[in-house]
Structure 1
């Protein structure tokens, strides 16, 4: 089973993300759009995991003190950079130190179970979509322009109060995310 640990998003945050995604969609971009109902803030991607590890993983996550801090939607951008957009994202604001601490606590909890942290530094964001692999140079330029010229989402604030263990399953209709437990 393919697993990850993430913060789930409340309805007002999903609504703000849907609104900015709708504004970008009007440009008819070469983008595979993320489903709003599946959006989450990933803390650690665990990858393919044997089912027998689930009890140990749940126990390790249960030892992490429950988070309680606010996050705010802030900004609109692309990875790896504005001229080569591969991932379209909404950023986060407020004091991100508690989020960084939670992410580190997750890494510390999963490391003894054999889960290595990603080589890349943690860059918290919410993915709106990904540039299609077959996108032409002109289409990539259109994506960059649309992101640059689109207003960011309303600065919605929410309480991050629980990290959850998710399973992701690929279906013909896209990814399906199932919550396997709170931390």
Structure 2
């Protein structure tokens, strides 16, 4: 199974994201960008990849041990960006910010504990974001230049805050129409029992 650990989003935030994607789609078009469906947007904490089913119980135990160490916390959603950068965009995203450092600490502990189960540690720094769209492969350089100029003008105000109370284990099934996500389990933070 293809697995990842993420924070699921509220329906209210999904509605805001859907409206933002519609607006961006009208502004930037859809010819060279595959826009995400708001129902599939989540905050990925750790991508596990193809994982034997017999590992799921061990992953679950690890997550169940980690989450009581944390209390619920708020994150703010806002600021538009691209990976790797505006001149060569591949992924369009909206930023996630929280002031306590809890999200960063959660990411570090997940990396450390899951490495003990044999999962490779992420080499890049944790950069919390919500993916809004992906640039299609094979885009012509002239189109990429035009798109980059359009991206420079995008400004997204803060969409609001979200109270985080749990992390979830998801499976991902790749389909021609895009990935389908299934929530396998949720693990509450210590104050959210």
Residue in structure 1 matched with residue 191 of structure 2 by the alignment? none
User: Could you tell me which residue of structure 2 aligns to residue 177 of structure 1?
Assistant: 181
Could you tell me which of 54, 77, 81 is aligned with 1:77?
A: 81
Runs of 4+ residues deviating >6 angstroms = none
2:9 corresponds to which residue? 9
Alignment: residue pair count: 183
SS in 2 for 1:105: helix
133 and 96 in structure 1: CA distance in 2 versus 1, 3 angstrom threshold: farther
Residue 35 of structure 1, CA deviation: 1.7
Q: Quick one: distance in 1 between partners of 2:160 and 2:137?
A: 31
Q: Distance in 2 between matches of 1:45 and 1:113?
A: 14
Q: CA RMSD, aligned part only? A: 1.5
Structure 1: gaps (5+ residues): none
Q: Give the equivalent residue in structure 1 for 2:103.
A: 99
d(CA) in 2 for partners of 1:110 and 1:72? 27
Matched, 1:125 2:125: no
| CA offsets 1:32-79 (integer angstroms, 9 cap, x no match) | 111210110010000100001111110111001254110111200111
CA contact (8 A) 2:91 2:135 kept: yes
User: What's 1:59 paired with?
Assistant: 61
SS of residue matched to 2:113: helix
Cα deviation, residue 10, structure 1 = 0.7
Which 5+ residue runs of structure 2 have no aligned equivalent? 188-193
Instruction: Tell me if the contact between 2:77 and 2:159 (Cα under 8 Å) persists in the aligned partners.
Output: yes
TM-score normalised by L of structure 1: 0.93
SS in 2 for 1:85: coil
The question of whether the paired residues in 1 share the 8 Å contact of 2:76 and 2:158 is answered with: no
**Secondary structure of 1:116's partner?**
coil
Contact 1:23–1:150 at 8 Å: present in 2 too? Answer: no
Q: Which residue of structure 2 lines up, in the alignment, with residue 28 of structure 1?
A: 29
Of 129, 148, 154, 1:144 maps to 148
CA deviation map 1:14-41 (0-9, x unaligned):
1221122111111324111112101100
Q: Is 1:42 equivalent to 2:44 in the alignment?
A: yes
What is the rounded CA distance, in whole Å, between the counterparts of 1:36 and 1:153 in structure 2?
18
